[in-house]
Amino acid sequence: MRDIQAELRRLMKGKGITFYAMAKTIGVDRGSLYKSLKDGSNLELNTMMKVLDYLGYEIQFVKSKKRGGEKR
């Protein structure tokens, strides 16, 4: 998750978005948002989805070529 959190912070910085402005818009406490995006913290999927949506991104699931999804 550390890479995801760093990338989200990088995107925020690149767009000039503050934690305060994002937190207010997505309905999350600023301190909680800051802690969630800190390296080594527990970023919940719900929070990540809100942040991605705010930044104009989404998650897509793509079938891996490494595994065929076979039953074990």
Tens digit of each residue's pLDDT (9 = 90 or more) over 21-47 = 999 999 999 999 999 999 888 899 999
pTM of the model: 0.79
For the chain, which domains are there?
Answer: 2-55 (1.10.260)
Asked if pLDDT for residue 48 goes beyond 90, the answer is yes
Cβ-count burial of 19 within 10 angstroms (0-12 exposed, 13-18 middle, 19+ buried)? middle
Average pLDDT rounded to a whole number, residues 1-13: 89
CB 49 within 8 A of CB 59: yes
- Mean of all residue pLDDT scores within the chain: 90
- The percent of residues above 90 in pLDDT, for the chain, comes to 75
